[in-house]
Structure 1
């Protein structure tokens, strides 16, 4: 990854001690919360690599849970995030695991509601508070949350990407990046679109109404992170 300036290396305004182990972890938690779209009543948090070795000492557990509570990177409540989350009704489980294929600072979040709805979200903190989201519900996709992101869960059918692109174009929404993964030809698929601006709700509803679209998520952290 190429950093744009010194602040990309130092990281954002944050509760310390580390931009990678705290600020990045908060942003992963916030991204997961926005993708899930609700307060998770159960959260299983699995740390890999360096996170697994140091998460207690560096406060990475507090940081991820702070993100799940939708706290900003410099919110002092992060220091008490686990207590606050549990008091609010979030059932937390922490685990560690090893997988050499992942970035050293990787965390897997399994989020559930009482009705059984679940999202499994994988993210990595790559330095300076920057993150990469690496997977959602078994789909291998990659996006940064540095831009607004649209996630479209759909059946793998001809023309779906073109339909999504045309709808965004009709609202003068510029596509900066797109990634698609599928679980087999004609099976379930996920299209990820990073845009240069927020996607209006009417365009989201238009995409949601497309045949073979099962779920649409719009997640945007950018407006809250601009100083």
Structure 2
């Protein structure tokens, strides 16, 4: 883990457990660095404006301002493990890193008793992977950001005929099919909707331009698409 990732991870951990404290020794052990390194990291975060305060004393440590923390969560062990299974199955999909970060926050904000029960239950759940299975291509972070912020992508794309072309694409949605993840987008070169297989994108650049707001229902792709199953948050 590089320093930037470690600084982010420290903030996320303190946010999740606040108002509880984490000592420098605990943070050092978690991130595999020295106590002195953690102290320097905390100082750098404080100087950059992150509201971390130190509670001195025998049981002292570091904490994040309460307004940036999660309240206690009454998740059951089964609920937490269900989320962990979903996150594990989503590995390589869009927002996989965000899912792992969310799960860490949830576990840190649960009661110690429920967290311990969830960890014990997780030991009794296994995901079997076939040795012949081909790992899916992870969704590039530029594509994730484009979908979130509706920013235009500039890509080099290898089509089914093996022809490489440069495209500018307004992102509409991410679709998952038998051959992996696709980006449904409005191709500005062809001036029509297209499906772009992520493993055929040979170069990806996230531009600052915001694309038009389009829906899956009104943006029918040129290539055939099977029935689209919605992702529900309710």
TM-score by length of 1: 0.28
TM-score by length of 2: 0.27
More helix by share: 2
Select the structure of larger CA radius of gyration: 2
